[in-house]
Structure 1
Amino acid sequence: MGNKMSTGSAIIPEGVGSVVYDQQGMKHNHQIKSGSVHSQRGGKPVNQDSAVLCQGYGSEEGILSGVFDGHGKKGHLVSKAIKTRLPLLLLDHKNKASSSHQLNCEDESDESHLKDQSCSSPNRNRLLLQWKEAFFNAFKQMDEEIKMVEKVDYSFSGSTAVVALKQGNDLLIANLGDSRAILGVRGENGVKAVQLTTELKPGTPEEAKRIRRYNGRVFSLRDEPGVPRAWLPHAQSPGMAMSRSFGDLVMKHYGIISTPVITHHHITSNDLFILLATDGVWDVLSNEEVVSIVRGVEDEKMAAKAVVDAAVAAWKIKIPCDKRDDCTAVCYFLLKKDQTQAELVS
């Protein structure tokens, strides 16, 4: 088996706008209208985070955004590969699902076709199921491709992922690990935060149950009493803080999986923006603080940077003796900021 991952390949099909961050910096192929990406290295020599924001993905108004938080000695290579490869895999599996459905429709008799008009008029639920299936298959293939890399040892290196896909008024979120996605939602008393994901950590009862079923261990160290980690059966290693990830090949035998938790949100006129960030941000900022920061920026293109800058400052105050984690955020406005402000005032 050879190296099937290529971090130098195209990120998304031609004509789709994107902003991409990895350890080599920010890359644009053309301007994103209503979103931003920003990342800041923490206390380690290399920033292990990567991120992607794609406009025109899957449909003319489609949006794909994601943050990927690497860990272990080669974690930065895992997150970099994911941000390059996963958007292509997802779209490829979605196209396969659509083609399969079309073939099934063509094989049906005229009588059965009359009973199911969804073949000629694709409906929302079917499309959502296709995208959901594509997420599961893309995540599975992504992890398989990481396993096939021969030149880099990913035994104890990996990456989390949280990916949000907007198609029309539907938002699908695929979560793998301990990054987070939130919405800024307009309410009676201003803009509030709505959390879209739940962190998948070894301390979560169902996650711990699975890890132990595969003979992995879950416990906290004495100097981290409130931080359950995942360990090998007979070694004080590796101490994973997340229960699902890409890579981490050894721990895949002991209950760590790469299957995402997928949730759906129907977008309304009160949903103003979506923000995804790695745990370096959420370790020091609450959902409400992040929403307040985003609402306070004058230029929506500066939203992600404002959140990361605030997280960096908060680390210095709240956890001054600890090595600051890498901090990365992606923000996309579902409603233009100037339009939002006008409606809030009126």
Structure 2
Amino acid sequence: MGVYLSAPKREKTTVVGQGNGFVYAASSMQGWRVSMEDADICCPNLDNGIQLYGVFDGHGGQEVSSFVQKNFSEQLLNNTEFQQKDFTNALIQNFMKMDELLRSEEGKAQLRDIMKDKSKTDTTAGCTANVVLIHENTMYIANAGDSRTLLSQNGIPKRLSEDHKPDNMKEYQRIREAGGDVQNGRVNGNLNLSRALGDLQYKKNFQIPQDKQLIIAKPDVTIHKITPDDEFILIGCDGIWETLSDEEIIKYIRQQIALGVSCDKIVEQLLDLLLAPDMLNGCGCDNMTCILVTLQDYDQLKNKYMQIKEFQEADGSQEQNSSKSPTNHQNQDDDSQTQQNNAQNEQSINSQNEETQ
């Protein structure tokens, strides 16, 4: 089957918690892929109330995403700019620091431990990185690659990061200036990303700065002041965004909160909803990892959403519409956690699928 399994692995790794009044939940699922290459971090109190969340989508192996998961928070805490609360530069420096560590002898030793192969001295693996740092009422979103942070503002989706693809003009110009080319949307016909951590084979021209290479680790950083209209963010690897639109994902999460579904069950069921029933079109077949972080009190959000007529009508029509859903297969998950979901949650998925056709 190559990079795909004959049947998807639906078992999930899920964590849930609270930080400074926010609720967060993260869940990951291997899906159709033969191995799991995603990693994530959830630090609701990294330092003096500062929160840190991140998704790292690996490619070419899981060693770089696991390496970043292990080292990112510690290195950020040791960063001078972070200690001075210059979070934009701290995040940029920390992304670049990951590559520096991967080149070091200490980093190579860590990679060998992760790969459980003492004979290997190098790796061609890499990972995207989408990291959200929350300090007081401000979010700093650092992104390298095509993982994404999506914000719900009173139900209106707003992307807080921009995907980095080789055919984006800014990325394309840098790649050409570094001596490379873009073929079929891929750098030198190989990698379909223009920014990533690791992938050191694309960063070997030491005659130019590291932020001018074919592939760079330097992130774009978006600063967003949290407003009363901001409800929650969803951080996800690229597999999260393949099946449903931003609007449909936001609507689904709001409806689930209106029904009183806990955040950990929401992200678990979202992964089931996004998982492809087969591999015919390639969408929904990737590893999937997402982190949901509420920016308001969960009960306040629930009460707010319960007043929305659309959600009230959807709740009342669950039984009538459930048999019509084209994706009932997604509710037949044999995962032990998913089996514990109550009938109301399953009916909600069916209703949402009916609405998004």
Same fold flag (TM > 0.5): yes
Within the alignment, does 1:39 sit opposite 2:28 as a pair?
Answer: yes
Amino acid corresponding to residue 183 of structure 2 in structure 1: F
- Note the alpha carbon deviations across 1:236-271, whole angstroms, 9 max, x for none: 5xx111101111111114511110100100001111
Q: 1:68 offset after TM fit, Å?
A: 0.4
Name the structure 1 match of 2:171.
Answer: 207
Pairwise mapping of residues 29-178 of structure 1 onto structure 2 (< 5 A)?
31-32=17-18, 34-60=23-49, 62-72=50-60, 74=61, 76-93=62-79, 96-97=80-81, 127=85, 130-148=86-104, 149=108, 151=112, 152=120, 154-178=122-146
Within the alignment, does 1:285 sit opposite 2:271 as a pair?
Answer: no
* Residues 1:98 and 1:171: Cα distance change in structure 2 (over 3 Å): closer
Name the structure 2 match of 1:308.
Answer: 271
Name the structure 2 match of 1:192.
Answer: 156
Q: Is the 8 A contact 1:154 1:247 kept in 2?
A: no
Name the structure 1 match of 2:313.
Answer: none
Q: 1:27 offset after TM fit, Å?
A: 7.8
CA distance in 2, matches of 1:155, 1:299: 40
Superposition CA RMSD, Å: 2.3
Within the alignment, does 1:337 sit opposite 2:298 as a pair?
Answer: yes
Name the structure 2 match of 1:110.
Answer: none
Pairwise mapping of residues 193-342 of structure 1 onto structure 2 (< 5 A)?
193-220=157-184, 228-231=185-188, 239-253=190-204, 254-297=213-256, 298-312=261-275, 315-316=276-277, 320-322=280-282, 324-342=285-303
* Residues 1:205 and 1:154: Cα distance change in structure 2 (over 3 Å): farther
- Note the alpha carbon deviations across 1:208-262, whole angstroms, 9 max, x for none: 1101111111011xxxxxxx1101xxxx5xx111101111111114511110100
- Note the alpha carbon deviations across 1:265-313, whole angstroms, 9 max, x for none: 000111111110000111222111111121122212323223212211x
- Equivalences, count: 269
The alignment partner of 1:291 has SS state of helix
* Residues 1:25 and 1:47: Cα distance change in structure 2 (over 3 Å): same
CA distance in 2, matches of 1:309, 1:98: 37
Q: 1:155 offset after TM fit, Å?
A: 4.6
Amino acid corresponding to residue 173 of structure 1 in structure 2: I
Off by >3 Å, runs of 4+ in structure 1: 24-28, 30-33, 150-155
The alignment partner of 1:216 has SS state of coil
Q: 1:63 offset after TM fit, Å?
A: 1.8
> What is the TM-score when the length of structure 1 is the normalising length?
0.72
Unpaired runs of 5+ residues, structure 2, are: 1-10, 113-119, 205-212, 309-357
* Residues 1:40 and 1:210: Cα distance change in structure 2 (over 3 Å): same
CA distance in 1, matches of 2:81, 2:175: 32
Amino acid corresponding to residue 159 of structure 1 in structure 2: C
CA distance in 1, matches of 2:121, 2:247: 39
Amino acid corresponding to residue 165 of structure 1 in structure 2: L
> What is the TM-score when the length of structure 2 is the normalising length?
0.70
- Note the alpha carbon deviations across 1:170-196, whole angstroms, 9 max, x for none: 00000010000011111xxxx111110
Unpaired runs of 5+ residues, structure 1, are: 1-23, 102-126, 221-227
* Residues 1:322 and 1:307: Cα distance change in structure 2 (over 3 Å): same
